Amino acid sequence: MLPTQQVWLAIDARQVGGIEVHITHLASDLLARGLGVTIVLVADHGMTPFIALLRRAGLPYRVCRNSRDFMRQLACQPGSVLLHTHGYKAGVLGRLTAWCSGKQVVSTFHSGDEGEGWLKFYSWLDRLTARFAKCIAVSEPIARRLPVPSTVISNFVPMPTTPASVAGNRVAFVGRLSPEKGPEAFCQLAAFCPDGEFHLYGDGPMKSALWQQYGDRVQLHGFQTMAHEWHNIDLLCITSRFEGLPLVALEAMAHGIPVCTFAVGGLVNLIDHKSNGWLVEPGHVRDMAELVNYWLRSDETARSRMSQAARRTIARGYSVNHRVTDILAVYSA
């Protein structure tokens, strides 16, 4: 790939989640390598948290009025522009437009959830049109579901200089408050772990119901910029029904925070059970509670050992520099 080539990182985004943070890490590293990068939002949703994040980070972006405007602008770009899509809407629209206009397109598939209703249809269409792009999957399970060969490149995060202390009893969930993420399973842990202090970070359609049912035992913080919160967390629990490779797991471990998670998606390869975290049979809340209680009772030596193992895992296999180099290899293939 020529250093003068322009890259469009396309996404349909309102809130800030794992995919959005992934794009900011990717854009920052590509810019540092001297490439021309623009983050392109395929529809205008007003002043969103994602746009606020892009402005704080000083990353170049453009906002299209709607899907038709995105397709028109993409078709008008010179042939040297490479499109890299993220998410099903940008993926489907971008791949079809790039194919028709003769542009190179790469698509990263992040989600392991097929969804229901219209989301299930869009997920099917997303996979169906994968044949028009060079494909990247963030985990092996996602790669196996694609109808064409793909390159597996895991998510990645920068390494913070100072790790969290993990000396307290704060147990956290970080993610969208929606059924596929299983936040109610996390809230149920609080009843089985009386020594823990349970914190829920995120927003979504289940927020009101969770507050009404569990607000006396779990503190709901809403959407937060987690860069300011990781040092207040001692253990991360992931209770998702489906996952690719969640960025919050990588971020937590980079800060030395162990992860206790249901064994789904790419997490089964990330977590070395009882070394840098714990894997639990999906849906087995009481089993997860036993491990959380074990952590809450652990001494400083045991916590430090697991914290260091978590950080080593990220430093050795999930660094920004190594993974972006892998992505550049896909661009130039």
Is residue 7 pLDDT above 60, yes or no? yes
Number of domains the chain contains: 2
Evaluate whether 109 touches 130 at the Cβ level (below 8 Å). yes
Tell whether 1 is covered by a domain: no
Evaluate whether 158 touches 25 at the Cβ level (below 8 Å). yes
Indicate whether 84 and 190 sit together in one domain.
no
Tell whether 34 is covered by a domain: yes
pTM above 0.95, yes or no: no
Indicate whether 275 and 185 sit together in one domain.
yes
What is the pLDDT averaged over residues 5-16? 92
Residues 6+ apart with CB under 8 A from 69: none
Helices (H) and strands (E) counted in the chain, each on its own, are 13, 13
What is the pLDDT averaged over residues 21-46? 95
Is residue 2 pLDDT above 70, yes or no? no
Residue 3: band (very low, low, confident or very high) from pLDDT cuts 50, 70, 90: very low
Indicate whether 195 and 119 sit together in one domain.
no
Which alpha helices (DSSP H) does 102-227 contain, by range? 118-128, 140-145, 183-192, 207-214
Does an H or E element contain 37, and which? strand 36-41
Average model confidence (pLDDT) for the chain? Answer: 93
Does an H or E element contain 7, and which? strand 6-11
Evaluate whether 288 touches 239 at the Cβ level (below 8 Å). yes
* Strand order, beta sheet including 82-86: 61-63, 36-41, 6-11, 82-86, 104-109, 134-137, 151-152
What confidence tens digit (pLDDT) does each residue in 230-267 have?
Answer: 999 999 999 999 888 899 999 999 999 999 999 998 89
67-76 vs 88-101: helix axis angle to the nearest 10? 40
Indicate whether 211 and 308 sit together in one domain.
yes
Range of the domain at 44: 6-156+319-332
Tell whether 263 is covered by a domain: yes
What is the pLDDT averaged over residues 206-225? 94
Tell whether 22 is covered by a domain: yes
Indicate whether 323 and 313 sit together in one domain.
no
Give the three-class secondary structure for 83: strand
- Choice between 51 and 224, residue whose per-residue pLDDT is larger: 51
Is residue 333 pLDDT above 60, yes or no? yes
Q: What is the CATH number of the domain that holds 201?
A: 3.40.50.2000
Indicate whether 106 and 236 sit together in one domain.
no
Tell whether 161 is covered by a domain: no
What confidence tens digit (pLDDT) does each residue in 123-181 have?
Answer: 899 999 999 999 999 988 899 999 999 999 999 999 999 999 999 999 999 999 999 99
Rg, C-alpha atoms of the chain:
20
Indicate whether 10 and 144 sit together in one domain.
yes
What is the pLDDT averaged over residues 30-42? 96
Tell whether 262 is covered by a domain: yes
Indicate whether 267 and 323 sit together in one domain.
no
What confidence tens digit (pLDDT) does each residue in 71-114 have?
Answer: 999 999 998 899 999 999 999 999 999 999 999 999 999 986 66
Indicate whether 147 and 221 sit together in one domain.
no
pLDDT the model gives residue 112: 66
Tell whether 163 is covered by a domain: no
Indicate whether 227 and 123 sit together in one domain.
no
Is residue 302 pLDDT above 50, yes or no? yes
Indicate whether 25 and 132 sit together in one domain.
yes
What confidence tens digit (pLDDT) does each residue in 271-288 have?
Answer: 999 999 999 999 999 999
Tell whether 36 is covered by a domain: yes
Indicate whether 87 and 35 sit together in one domain.
yes
pLDDT the model gives residue 126: 93
Residue type, 313: T
